[in-house]
Amino acid sequence: MSAAELTRDAFLGGRLHLWQPRAGYRAGVDPVLLAAAVPARPGQSVLELGCGAGAAVLCLNARVPGLSLTGVELQPFYAELARRNAAENEAPLRVVEADLQRLPPELRAQAFDHVIANPPYYERHRSTASEDAGRDVALAGETPLVEWIATASRRLAPRGYLTLIQKADRLPELIAACTARLGSLRVRAIQPRVGRKAELVLMQARKGGRAGFVLEAPLIMHEGARHRVDGESYTPEVLNILRGGQALPWSA
């Protein structure tokens, strides 16, 4: 892909710059929210399943120094973009080009403190294929959601955390997939505005966790009941995440 077919976009108020395809799947707000919700500490290891161009894992790296980072990406073009973005942002990210259901032996031998993921939002049999192949795989891949959870569970170290973002209407599927694999589930709904239904959810689960289910206070994205003026209308909390690179903590 030529330089004219790429854009270099700023994230976290300019602390991070990422190359992305001008057309096709482009990272936006969702991976930034995902990264903000990961309770990682310096010295820990992180695996991102389906890392794309690296937006989520590199946003996490910008907030938490000293992490050991690995990304798995099926599509060669996006894997190469993730490597380029990691190098230009001086991030210690290793990118493995592989299907998450057929990870290479060296990766299957590893366990991670955190696994993060932004699985495709749509089921392949219920969606119309995109004309752009990269966008189609990112938004409606062939791998069932339960396999994302199963792979994450196998790669987590004991007491390790899975953090992911997904469409709200697939929450029952997520919870069912975690049964007998992961515990201590926490869910935070992401609402566009006060009074609107949630469109996305963040979910955290823990390997070996035994705590009860927790429904966190929702994250409200925009101020006001409706969009009234041109320009951004993010709430202060969301602005602190998107521009300031701050964490989105889970309750104690």
Q: What's 25's domain CATH number? A: 3.40.50.150
3 state DSSP class of 169: helix
pLDDT value at residue 142: 78
What is the total count of domains within the chain? Answer: 1
pLDDT value at residue 4: 85
Q: Count CA within 13 A, CB hemisphere, residue 26.
A: 15
- What span, in angstroms and rounded, lies between the C-alpha atoms of 148 and 170? 13
Structural domain range at position 48: 3-242
pLDDT value at residue 229: 64
pLDDT value at residue 132: 45
pLDDT value at residue 227: 66
On whether residue 33 sits in a domain, the answer given is yes
On whether residue 20 sits in a domain, the answer given is yes
The reported pTM is 0.90
For residue 119, which of 83, 156, 81, 72 has the smallest C-alpha distance?
A: 72
For residue 52, which of 12, 93, 92 has the smallest C-alpha distance?
A: 93
pLDDT value at residue 1: 65
On whether residue 70 sits in a domain, the answer given is yes
On whether residue 96 sits in a domain, the answer given is yes
pLDDT value at residue 138: 46
pLDDT value at residue 224: 80
On whether residue 125 sits in a domain, the answer given is yes
Using CB atoms within 10 A of its CB, is residue 172 exposed (0-12), middle (13-18) or buried (19+)?
exposed
- What span, in angstroms and rounded, lies between the C-alpha atoms of 158 and 53? 29
pLDDT value at residue 75: 95
On whether residue 249 sits in a domain, the answer given is no
Contact 163, 202 (CB under 8 A): yes
pLDDT value at residue 179: 94
On whether residue 127 sits in a domain, the answer given is yes
On whether residue 167 sits in a domain, the answer given is yes
pLDDT tens for the chain, 252 residues: list them.
677 899 999 999 999 999 999 988 899 999 999 999 999 999 999 999 999 999 999 999 999 999 999 999 999 999 999 999 999 999 999 999 999 999 999 999 999 999 999 999 977 445 454 454 444 444 446 799 999 999 999 999 999 999 999 999 999 999 999 999 999 999 999 999 999 999 999 999 999 999 999 999 999 999 986 666 656 789 999 999 999 999 999 998
Q: Count CA within 13 A, CB hemisphere, residue 152.
A: 32
Helix axes 29-36, 55-63, angle to 10 degrees: 40
